[in-house]
Amino acid sequence: MTPLWNVWHGWFLALFLFCAAIVFSNALHFVLVRLLRKKQSGESSTPMPGLGLVRHLGKPARAIFIITCLFFVLPFIPQVSGDLHTDIAQVLAVAEVLSLGWLASGAVYVLQNLLLRRYDIHAENNVQARRVHTQFQLFRRAVLTLIAVVTLGAMLWTFHDDRIWKAGTGLLASAGLASLVLATAAKSTASNFLAGMQIALTEPIRIDDVVVVQGEWGRIEEINSTYVVVKIWDLRRLVVPLTYFIENSFQNWTRESSEIMGTAFLYVDYAVPVQELREKLLDICRQSPLWDEKVCGLQVTDVKERVIELRCLMSSRNSSDNFDLRCLVREEMIAYIRERHPDALPKTRFAALPDGPTPVAAG
């Protein structure tokens, strides 16, 4: 019979080794995290965003350190029998695989931050940045899905049990008919996923694009695997399926460049001095920082029975500036006409008929 002291001594050694593994792994993780944070704080003065190493890799790295240290101390624990040792080793192996998958997923985000540091989406002319951000956002989801599948396969591989592989083979064989049913039921999901890949390659829309969808003006805020979020100018969110941008027509105001031209129409009397208004429009544009100094002109675009139509055409660096410039031009031009040429405002003319009966011509 084993003495009680030897039993307690064995469990004390096991507990000591377990605690030592936890302390050592956490100490190693703490040192590495401090070094990374010190490096990032030294680079914080740069305009480039951080890579997010601690945020994305800190927790999975801690789990890997702890599990690895437990693997090392497991053979030195005297109270663990053969079957119990195998079960504990299996649990640690599954946890190690899951932690590695977690670390790989975090590494994808770090790699994305590293590659996107050169592309500032908030720049004035950000077509290339929007293209790269859109493609990385869609490809990142595909890579994360692949990592999840590989992690699941690696986790099953750790069991080394033929019964599990046979069960998996039977499951895959029986999944043939089920896949047809699921494909029919998830037709919209599959089509949206393929539409997302097509959008990433052909680029009809990108992140931060200015679009008009279903009569709503807004910016592409988010492109998910099945839908797109459009931020409307009044802060509403329009959620649109990805297939909509493949199967329907829509307006993209920043497809090649953010520069845009806008118009402001004025309806005035025939007596208005057009050349004077043309000079006034140019003066308004020159005094406004919203104008990009490229296009500014006024033309008579239509003649109606009571008024003439004047089109004020001006260009800006982006659609937001152009909208504000169009509003400014309307206000300034109307105020100028009202103050300098009030007789040129639209009016209705009446002609008085002579008194008495109208003479009838002899037949």
- pLDDT tens for 269-295 read 988 999 999 999 999 999 999 999 899
Question: So what's the pLDDT on residue 333?
Answer: 94
Question: So what's the pLDDT on residue 282?
Answer: 94
For the domain spanning 159-257, the CATH number is: 2.30.30.60
The total of other beta-carbon atoms located within 10 Å of residue 267's CB is: 13
Task: Identify the bridge partners of residue 239 per DSSP, sorted by sequence position.
Answer: 229
Question: So what's the pLDDT on residue 276?
Answer: 93
The two three-digit tokens of residue 336, written as one number = 């100028």
DSSP string, 288-346: -TT--SS-EEEEEEEE-SS-EEEEEEEEESSHHHHHHHHHHHHHHHHHHHHHH-GGGS-
Residue with the larger pLDDT of the pair 263 and 112: 263
Domain limits, the chain: 4-118, 159-257, 260-344
* C-beta of residue 208 within 8 angstroms of C-beta of residue 219: yes
The total of other beta-carbon atoms located within 10 Å of residue 185's CB is: 10
Longest dimension (CA), the chain: 147
C-alpha closest to that of 281 among 308, 313, 309: 313
State how beta strands 251-252 and 260-268 pair.
Answer: unpaired
Distance CA 307, CA 314 (A): 22
Q: Which fold has domain 260-344?
A: Alpha-Beta Plaits (3.30.70)
Average pLDDT along the chain: 75
Distance CA 241, CA 155 (A): 35
Q: How far is CA 160 from CA 21, 84, 153, 255, 318, in A?
A: 27, 16, 12, 54, 61
* C-beta of residue 319 within 8 angstroms of C-beta of residue 340: no
Contacts of 172 (CB under 8 A, 6+ apart): none
Mean pLDDT over residues 10-21, rounded? 57
pLDDT digits (tens, 9 = 90+) for 296-354: 999 999 998 889 999 999 999 888 899 999 999 999 999 999 999 888 888 776 666 66
The residue behind tokens 């005035």 is 268
CATH topology match: 159-257 vs 260-344? no
pLDDT digits (tens, 9 = 90+) for 36-63: 566 655 554 444 445 666 677 777 777 7
pLDDT digits (tens, 9 = 90+) for 104-154: 888 888 887 777 777 666 665 666 676 677 767 777 777 888 888 788 877
Question: So what's the pLDDT on residue 124?
Answer: 59
Residue with the larger pLDDT of the pair 10 and 306: 306
- Whether 32 has a pLDDT exceeding 70, the answer reads no
C-alpha closest to that of 285 among 272, 275, 298, 274: 298
Where residue 172 falls among pLDDT bands split at 50, 70, 90? very low
Which amino acid type is present at position 204? Answer: P
Task: Identify the bridge partners of residue 300 per DSSP, sorted by sequence position.
Answer: 310
* C-beta of residue 312 within 8 angstroms of C-beta of residue 281: yes
The total of other beta-carbon atoms located within 10 Å of residue 283's CB is: 13
Q: How far is CA 34 from CA 59, 76, 105, 314, in A?
A: 14, 31, 22, 55
Distance CA 111, CA 105 (A): 10
Distance CA 235, CA 137 (A): 23
Question: So what's the pLDDT on residue 108?
Answer: 83
pTM score above 0.85 = no
